[in-house]
């Protein structure tokens, strides 16, 4: 372990305790700002990958400043490399930019012979990317299925549908209710998070058998609905 | 089918894990990160009150008189004890000594020449004096040989690494060794001659005062004594002066190599103690607190893993002093900080930390 932590060639020895604290604090602040963004965001331009970038960027910035270690020449080199990559590639996704920045930082760390920082940084950044992917970070509304049905009985009896949905779902959200004029029939749209996605067909058949339910249709609602 | 009678369908473990992964894991990770930072904060982030240095105690081994460094017995980082002989200073320039010896030799020869035309009785006394002069002559030769031998030994020591590196030919190096061996042989022979004459001369009585007055032997004896004193002085000058280690420690600096000339008082070696003498730090201006002897302080090493010990202030400086450059460098100030004055504070050295001389530590004064 000591050998791993002694691979930095620099004018001052790297404090790995400080490095770990810096990266962890950067993650904490990034995550905090990302949550604030998620809860306060309004409008239609919400992007999950942007939220992930908000978490990753502080960690990358902390790592780049540790690698640069007050060295102006390294800083210029890093900016120049990033500019060259950016000049020849149109990076539309913020997360793609983060990945490019991450590899440039790790390359800079290796090039400036801060090998230990590069190893610790690579593990930390890769681990963070995997963790954020695994936890689907930035997702606001997560449902498995969008259910559309026509309810022909009085609205006061809708509890039967809700009970059936609750039997199969962990979470139910009414997305749309459309009551016709002069008739009791209504078009309803639900978003449901299923208890067992493998038994979605069972839910549909039970709904179809329920008196008052007509024309049941379902659409898969994948996580990718929020890019 | 009455939906009120239907129980919720079971949630498979994979689905439960997905819920944990997506809902609770980010929160758990966030809390874990906070706990980690809080745990490490005290060790890695808590700012130190001041930076201190385990001060080095060192001493120089100096030449007590002018000469040439010869026979250095120690190398860098070698452990030495107080009083140990580390090398020698060959006292003077061998050429100067040669000239001195030549003068003595000429004086002795002149004294021998003045003995011609003496009576029989005087002749016995003069023979004794001649033997004394011969003996002195041999001692002059030995002194001259000793000077040449020292010079040749120094040349040989200087040439050996050059020969190993291929910069000196085998022939030149061998010639130097032959010269050295020849001088050693000559010196041995002269020593034997001196040793043979010495007991004969020490068994003889000095001539009586009356006879001496009549024959002028007194003047001769006095002249011999003068030459003998000169010879003893030359012999003393030729004998090398030892370089002695002033303290226990390790050789931290070799300032003069073998064969180099030194003046009287010049440092040849630096010996540094293996354990620091004290822990010294500086409270920078403006003084954030008033340090007093007996105040408790926490010492934190900068090694990995960091060691922590509690100690006390033993002494506080009377005036503000310039911060030593090594401590200034250890403060991690912006590049090229300007020199500044601060209050010097000494701490009791915590033995448990095993600090090395010159090591920097962070100090938090409570």
| C-beta of residue B319 within 8 angstroms of C-beta of residue B293 | no
Interchain CB contact of B43 with A (< 8 Å) = yes
- The pLDDT assigned to B214 comes to 47
What does the pLDDT read at residue A131? Answer: 94
B305 cis-preceded (ω within 30 degrees of 0):
yes
The region of weakest confidence among A108-122, A141-155, B99-113, B267-281 is B99-113
pLDDT in tens, B228-259: 777 777 777 777 888 889 888 899 899 988 87
pLDDT in tens, B270-304: 998 888 888 999 888 888 788 889 999 888 888 77
- Report the C-alpha gap between B248 and B79 in whole angstroms: 8
* Shortest CA gap A43–chain B (Å): 24
Minimal Cβ distance to A167: which of B9, B29, B43? B9
Nearest-Cα distance to chain A for B59, in Å, is: 29
pLDDT value at position A30? 96
Identity of the highest mean pLDDT range in B86-95, B129-138, B252-261: B252-261
Q: Look at residue B241 in the predicted model and tell me its pLDDT.
A: 84
Task: Summarize the confidence of residues A165-175 as an average pLDDT.
Answer: 86
Q: Which pLDDT does position B314 carry in this prediction?
A: 92
Residues of A at the B interface (Cβ-Cβ below 8 Å)?
2, 5, 12, 15-18, 20-21, 24-25, 27-28, 31, 70, 131, 134-137, 139, 142, 160, 163-164, 166-168, 170, 194-199, 202, 206, 209-210
Distance, in Å, from the CA atom of A157 to the CA atom of A188, rounded to the nearest integer, reads 13
Q: Say whether residue B45 is in contact with chain A using an 8 A CB cutoff.
A: yes
Give the torsion sign (CA, B282, B287, B292, B296): negative
Alpha helices by DSSP H, listed for A41-145, are 48-68, 72-88, 94-111, 115-134
CA B175 from chain center: how many Å?
A: 33
Average pLDDT over residues B338-346: 86
B35 close contact with A: CB closer than 8 A:
no
Provide the Cα torsion A60, A61, A66, A72; round to 10°. 130
**Chain B residues inside the 8 Å CB shell of A199:** 9
Main-chain dihedrals φ then ψ at residue B116, nearest 5 degrees: -65, 150
Average pLDDT on B350-356 reads: 86
Q: Do A167 and B26 touch (CB under 8 A)?
A: no
B12–A196 CB contact, under 8 Å: yes
When pLDDT is cut at 50, 70 and 90, the band that residue A13 belongs to is low
**What is the predicted pLDDT for the residue at A23?**
93
B34 falls in which pLDDT band (50, 70, 90)? very high
B38 touches chain A (CB under 8 A): no
Q: What is the largest CA-CA distance in chain B?
A: 162
| Distance, CA of A169 to CA of A26 (rounded, Å) | 37
pTM above 0.90, yes or no: no
Q: Residue B12: list chain A partners with CB under 8 A.
A: 196, 198
| Contact criterion met (CB < 8 Å) for A210 and B44 | no
DSSP character at residue A204: H
Task: Decide which of A40 and B92 is more confident.
Answer: A40
Residue in B22, B37, B43 nearest the CB of A25: B37
Report the pLDDT averaged over residues B207-222: 56
Interface test with B, best of A35, A124, A167, A172 (most B CBs within 10 A): A167
| CB pair distance less than 8 Å for B37 and A131 | no
Helix axes A72-88, A48-68, angle to 10 degrees: 150
Cα distance from A1 to chain B (closest Cα, Å)? 11
Partners of residue B3 in chain A, C-beta under 8 Å: 160, 163-164, 167, 206, 210
Asked if A135 lies within 8 A of B25 by C-beta distance, the reply is yes
B28 touches chain A (CB under 8 A): no
The answer on pLDDT for B119 being more than 70 is no
Q: How far apart are CA A214 and CA A209, in angstroms?
A: 9
Cis peptide before B286 (omega within 30 of 0): yes
Question: Is the ipTM reported for this complex over the cut 0.85?
Answer: no
DSSP annotation of A193 reads: E
Whether A135 sits inside 8 A of B37 (CB atoms) is no
Confidence of residue B123 (pLDDT cuts 50, 70, 90): low
Interface-testing mutation among B1, B7, B9, with chain A (most A C-beta atoms within 10 A): B9
Average pLDDT over residues B1-16: 75
Establish, for the pair of chains A and B, how many residue pairs have beta carbons separated by less than 8 Å: 82
pLDDT value at position A124?
Answer: 94
- Nearest C-alpha neighbor of A215 from the set A193, A185, A176, A173: A185
Task: State whether residue A119 is helix, strand or coil.
Answer: helix
Contact state of B3 with A210 under an 8 Å Cβ cutoff: yes
* Chain mean pLDDT for chain B: 81
* Residues facing residue B337 across a β-bridge: none
pLDDT digits (tens, 9 = 90+) for A46-83: 888 899 999 999 999 999 888 887 678 888 888 888 88
Tell me the C-alpha distance between A135 and B65, whole Å.
80
pLDDT of residue A224: 47
The pairs formed by A4-7 with CB atoms below 8 angstroms and a separation of 24 or more are A4/A116, A4/A119, A5/A116, A5/B304, A6/A116, A7/A114, A7/A115, A7/A116, A7/A119
Question: What DSSP character marks residue A213?
Answer: E
Tell which of A5, A163, A211 to mutate to test the B interface (max B CBs under 10 Å): A163
A18: nearest CA partner in chain B: B44
Of A18, A166, A197, Cβ closest to residue B44: A18
| Candidate ranges A97-106, B128-137, B281-290, B298-307; pick with highest mean pLDDT | A97-106
């Amino acid at each position: 372990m000591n050998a791993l932590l002694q691979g930095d060639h620099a004018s001052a020895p790297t404090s790995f305790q400080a490095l770990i604290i810096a990266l962890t604090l950067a993650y904490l602040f990034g995550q905090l700002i990302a949550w604030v963004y998620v809860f306060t965001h309004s409008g239609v331009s919400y992007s999950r990958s942007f939220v992930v970038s908000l978490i990753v960027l502080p960690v990358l910035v902390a790592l780049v400043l540790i690698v640069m270690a007050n060295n102006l020449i390294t800083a210029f080199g890093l900016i120049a490399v990033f500019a060259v990559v950016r000049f020849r590639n149109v990076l539309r996704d913020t997360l793609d930019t983060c990945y490019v920045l991450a590899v440039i930082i790790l390359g800079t760390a290796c090039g400036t012979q801060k090998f230990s920082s590069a190893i610790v940084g690579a593990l930390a950044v890769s681990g963070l990317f995997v963790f954020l992917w695994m936890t689907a970070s930035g997702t606001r509304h997560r449902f498995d299925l969008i259910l559309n049905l026509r309810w022909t009985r009085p609205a006061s009896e809708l509890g039967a549908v809700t009970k059936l949905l609750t039997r199969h779902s962990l979470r139910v959200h009414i997305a749309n209710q459309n009551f016709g004029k002069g008739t009791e029939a209504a078009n309803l749209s639900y978003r449901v998070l299923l208890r067992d996605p493998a038994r979605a067909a069972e839910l549909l058949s039970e709904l179809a058998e329920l008196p008052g339910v007509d024309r049941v249709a379902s659409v898969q609602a994948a996580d990718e609905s929020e890019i | 089918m009455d939906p009120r009678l239907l129980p919720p369908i079971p949630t498979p473990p994979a689905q439960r894990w997905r819920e944990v992964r997506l809902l609770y894991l980010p929160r758990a990770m966030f809390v874990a990160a906070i706990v980690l930072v809080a745990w490490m904060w005290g060790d890695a982030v808590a700012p130190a009150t001041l930076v201190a240095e385990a001060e080095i105690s060192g001493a120089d081994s100096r030449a007590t008189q002018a000469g040439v460094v010869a026979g250095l017995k120690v190398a860098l980082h070698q452990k030495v004890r107080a009083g140990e002989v580390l090398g020698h200073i060959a006292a003077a320039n061998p050429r100067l000594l040669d000239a001195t010896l030549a003068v003595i030799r000429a004086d002795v020869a002149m004294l021998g020449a003045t003995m011609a035309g003496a009576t029989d009785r005087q002749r016995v006394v003069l023979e004794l004096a001649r033997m004394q002069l011969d003996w002195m002559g041999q001692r002059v030769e030995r002194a001259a040989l000793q000077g040449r031998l020292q010079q040749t030994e120094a040349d040989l020591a200087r040439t050996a690494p050059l020969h190993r590196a291929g910069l000196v030919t085998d022939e030149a190096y061998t010639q130097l060794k032959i010269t050295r061996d020849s001088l050693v042989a000559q010196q041995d022979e002269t020593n034997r001659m001196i040793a043979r004459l010495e007991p004969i001369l020490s068994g003889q009585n000095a001539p009586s005062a009356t006879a001496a007055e009549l024959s002028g032997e007194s003047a001769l004896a006095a002249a011999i004594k003068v030459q003998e004193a000169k010879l003893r002085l030359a012999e003393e000058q030729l004998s090398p002066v030892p370089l002695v280690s002033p303290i226990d420690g390790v050789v931290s600096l070799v300032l003069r190599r073998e064969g180099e000339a030194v003046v009287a008082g010049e440092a040849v070696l630096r010996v540094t103690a293996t354990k620091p003498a004290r822990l010294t730090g500086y409270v920078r201006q403006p003084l954030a607190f008033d340090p007093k002897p007996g105040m408790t302080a926490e010492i934190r090493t900068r090694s990995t893993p960091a060691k922590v010990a509690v100690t006390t202030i033993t002494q506080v400086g009377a005036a503000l002093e310039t911060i030593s450059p090594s401590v200034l460098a250890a403060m991690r100030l912006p590049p090229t900080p300007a020199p500044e004055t601060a209050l010097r504070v000494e701490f009791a050295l915590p033995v448990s930390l095993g600090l090395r001389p010159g090591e920097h530590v962070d100090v938090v004064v409570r």
